[in-house]
Amino acid sequence: MREKTEHTRTQCNKILNHLMTEGSITQAQAVEKFGCYRLSARIYDLKEEGHDIKTIRCVKRNAEGNVVQFAKYVLVDETDF
């Protein structure tokens, strides 16, 4: 596992906290709330730490009627098993 910078660790902690309190996060939310433009990399880091995070592929239409695809990351609650 590669060494994380302090900035990366801080972003991971913020994202994990958000997942634990809100249940999911998208790239748009990560940019707006944390200034994180590399959410998939932070999710990878969190998975490497042992967190069970699932990726849900979403498709919707925007206001102009165009199809938009994006990922939503969901923390799996291990107490559910």
Q: What does the domain layout of the chain look like in residue ranges?
A: 6-80
Instruction: Give the HSE-up count for residue 80: Cα atoms under 13 Å, Cβ half-sphere.
Output: 5
C-alpha span between 43 and 48 (Å, rounded):
9
**pTM recorded for the entire structure:** 0.83
In the CATH hierarchy, which top-level class contains the domain 6-80? mainly alpha
Question: Distances in Å between the alpha carbon of 70 and those of 3, 29, 74?
Answer: 28, 12, 13
Kindly report, residue by residue over 55-73, the tens digit of the pLDDT: 999 999 999 999 999 999 9
20 C-beta neighbours (distance < 10 Å), count:
11
Per this entry, what is the length of the chain?
Answer: 81
Q: What pLDDT score was predicted for residue 36?
A: 95
For the chain, residues with pLDDT lower than 70 are 1-3, 78-81
